């Protein structure tokens, strides 16, 4: 059984910072891409940032220069440092991981339960 557990969301004023973390646990052989998505009320879920197994990153245009994604492979954990937060960053943030359960076989996509981040103006 694989679980992704997010932490670090909360309420912050505009201009403030938050750091999200997502730890993957269970019978995992390897983790390839890890990513953060977000979903605001009435909107579709959107990609915020992605980091490959080799450390390559890409970001949504709306967060470039403000958010930084990183990972600790030894801990199977991905982080999202969010600076200069804006009210429009308010959303539920979800962690996603593409991982393998065995050395041979397909990759599977797993999601965390989501963590609420609210930015007040």
Q: Is the model's pLDDT at 105 over the cut of 90?
A: no
Mean pLDDT of 5-20: 97
pLDDT for 43? 97
Mean pLDDT of 16-35: 97
CA distance 58 to 35: 10
CA distance 94 to 110: 10
DSSP 34: E
Mean pLDDT of 80-93: 98
Q: What angle do CA 72, 87, 55 make, to 5 degrees?
A: 20
Write out pLDDT tens, residues 32-79. Answer: 999 999 999 999 999 999 999 999 999 999 999 999 999 999 999 999
In residues, how long is the chain?
Answer: 121
Which tokens in the block code for residue 115? 């963590």
CA distance 20 to 69: 9
């Amino acid at each position: 059984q694989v679980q992704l557990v997010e932490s670090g969301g909360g309420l912050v004023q505009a201009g403030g910072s938050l750091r999200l973390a997502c730890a993957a646990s269970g019978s995992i052989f390897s983790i390839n891409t890890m990513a953060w998505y977000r979903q605001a009320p009435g909107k579709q879920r959107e990609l915020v940032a992605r980091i490959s197994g080799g450390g390559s990153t890409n970001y949504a245009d709306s967060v470039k220069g403000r958010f930084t994604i990183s990972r600790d492979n030894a801990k199977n954990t991905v982080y999202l440092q969010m600076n200069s937060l804006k009210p429009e960053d308010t959303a539920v943030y979800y962690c996603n991981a593409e991982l393998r359960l065995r050395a041979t076989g397909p990759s599977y996509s797993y999601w965390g339960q989501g963590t609420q981040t609210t930015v007040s103006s």
